[in-house]
Amino acid sequence: MISFLEEWSFFGGSILLILIGLYGVITKRNLIKILIGLSLMDTGVNVLLVSLGYVENGNAPILTSIIKNNSGAFVDPIPQALVLTAIVIGVAILALGLAVTIKIYEKYGTLDISKIRGLKW
């Protein structure tokens, strides 16, 4: 059981996080909750990417006065750099989404997407 958790809590858990976020985006009608769903999906992708580069008993990829040379085991630095980029993009998306949400609330007085007249055709 423990080994199953160790092996699948990162891959399986992050995929579960993506799916929970997607479910939230599809079913919720409140704009803020949709943004929370998007943010959850973002986090899931980030966890999945970082766990793809994990090495058992690997050190953080930084040379310090304790880990002096590069012959030891390190976790993969490239997914970490990629995730740093993804986090910043996530912040940008969230901020812009919130700004649009504020404007929508000012115009229509509601956050419920089924009551926003501009979205109907």
Partner 1 sequence: MRFRNILALVLVVILGFFILQAFNISPEEGQLVIDEFGEAEIENRTAKLYINKSVNSSNQKVVYAESKNLESGSANMVTSVIANYRSLDTLGEVTVLFLAATGLGAVLYSNKKKERNFIVDEGSLILKTGIKILFPLLILAGAYIFIHGHLTPGGGFQGGAVIATAFLLKFLADREYELAEHKLKIVEVIAGISFVGLGLYGLYTDGSFLSNFLETGTIGTLFSAGIIPLIYVSIGLKVGAELTSIISNLIEA
Q: Which residues bind partner 1 (CB under 8 A)?
A: 6-8, 10-12, 15-16, 18-19, 22-23, 26-27, 51-56, 58, 60-65, 67-71, 73-78, 80-81, 84-85, 87-89, 91-93, 95-96, 98-100, 102-103
In the complex, minimum distance from the CB of residue 117 to partner 1, in angstroms, rounded to a whole number:
20
Residue closer to partner 1 by CB (options 100, 119) is 100
In the complex, minimum distance from the CB of residue 30 to partner 1, in angstroms, rounded to a whole number:
14
As a dihedral over the C-alpha atoms of residue 82, residue 87, residue 92, residue 98, rounded to 10 degrees, the angle is 150
In the complex, minimum distance from the CB of residue 70 to partner 1, in angstroms, rounded to a whole number:
4
Smallest CA-to-CA distance from 104 within 3, 34, 15, 47 is with 34
- Alpha-carbon distances, residue 79 vs 29, 47, 59, 117 (angstroms): 34, 10, 15, 43
* Contact between 97 and 35 (Cβ < 8 Å): yes
